[in-house]
């Protein structure tokens, strides 16, 4: 099964008056849809835009793997486990909130900040918080705590990317345009996806993305946790 969500179908959020604009792919806060609560282990996929000086004050998280991909600008992070970092484009940040942690996310630069933040459900709750930043991510990022893996691809126009034949695969287009093939070999047909669009694939088999313009794409590969838990 394949479900396409267009950028304009995301739920609006944030606080525009405070320089925070958010677009939620899944039910979040006041936006509740019982048919759109999660996808596989993915609990949230938020596109965030922070004006210079804007940010999220200290707030708590628990029992969630928080993975952040910076698109433009610089994200300043502080947390109660003692970490302070600046995350830039091409860097991946992961905060494992585990049994509980509080953090602050701000745009302390003088240019706009754009990032995608994804919340992943771990296989087991609790534990001690942990944190890391991977600079210039190139390889697939494994998240064994959730039996998931994130791939980042930047195909040039005409290039192609394989979508893993996973139990759950989530494709988010960061920039550019791609075509998701319809599964019929040799036809060249399928859904066109632009920046902000996403595709959710459940047991969809092998599929291919073809860049119709230079693009950047995030792909989550997730296992059915009923299998992961045995």
Beta-carbon contacts of 202 under 8 Å, excluding residues fewer than 6 positions away, are 1, 2, 167, 168
Residues 140, 151 contacting (CB under 8 angstroms): yes
User: pLDDT, tens digit, for every residue of 88-129?
Assistant: 999 999 999 888 889 999 999 999 999 999 999 999 888 888
Nearest-angstrom CA–CA distance, 53 and 177: 31
DSSP of 9-54: GSEEEEEGGGTEEEEESS-BTTB--TTSS-BTTEEEEEEEEE-TT-
Burial string for 18-35 (b: 16+ CB within 10 Å, else e) reads ebbbbbbbbbbeeeeeee
Residues of 195-225 as b/e, b for ≥16 C-beta within 10 angstroms? Answer: bbbbbbbeebeebebbbbeebbbbbbbbbeb
Give CB contacts under 8 A, 24+ apart, made by 16-19: 18/54, 19/50, 19/51, 19/52, 19/53, 19/54, 19/107
Task: Provide the whole-model pTM.
Answer: 0.93
3-state secondary structure 97-116: CCCCEEEEEECCCCCCEEEE
Q: How many C-beta atoms lie closer than 10 Å to residue 159's C-beta?
A: 14
Residue 183's pLDDT is what? 66
| Half-sphere exposure (Cβ direction) of 199: Cα atoms closer than 13 Å | 28
**Average pLDDT of the residues of the chain:** 92
Please report the pLDDT score of residue 230 as a whole number: 47
Structure-token pair, residue 12: 């609006």
- State the 10-residue block means of pLDDT for the chain, 230 residues long: 95 95 92 91 97 93 93 95 93 91 94 97 89 91 94 96 93 97 68 96 90 97 74
| Beta bridge partner(s), residue 47 | 23, 116
């Amino acid at each position: 099964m394949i479900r396409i969500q267009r950028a304009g179908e995301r739920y609006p959020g944030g606080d525009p008056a405070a320089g925070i604009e958010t677009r939620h792919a899944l039910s979040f806060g006041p936006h509740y849809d019982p048919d759109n609560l999660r996808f596989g282990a993915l609990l949230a996929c938020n596109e965030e835009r922070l004006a210079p000086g804007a940010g999220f004050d200290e707030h708590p998280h628990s029992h969630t793997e928080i993975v952040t991909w910076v698109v433009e600008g610089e994200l300043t992070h502080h947390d109660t486990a003692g970490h302070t970092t600046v995350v830039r484009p091409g860097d991946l940040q992961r905060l494992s909130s585990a049994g509980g942690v509080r953090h602050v996310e701000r745009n302390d630069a003088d240019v706009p900040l754009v990032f995608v933040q994804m919340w992943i459900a771990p296989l087991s709750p609790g534990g001690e918080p942990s944190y890391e930043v991977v600079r210039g991510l190139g390889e697939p990022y494994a998240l064994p705590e959730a039996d998931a893996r994130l791939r980042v691809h930047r195909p040039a126009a005409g290039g192609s990317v394989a979508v893993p034949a996973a139990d759950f695969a989530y494709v988010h287009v960061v920039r550019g345009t791609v075509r998701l093939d319809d599964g019929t070999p040799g036809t060249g047909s399928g859904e066109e996806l632009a920046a902000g669009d996403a595709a959710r694939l459940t047991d969809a088999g092998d599929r291919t993305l073809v860049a119709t313009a230079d693009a950047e794409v995030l792909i989550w590969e997730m296992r059915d946790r009923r299998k992961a838990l045995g």
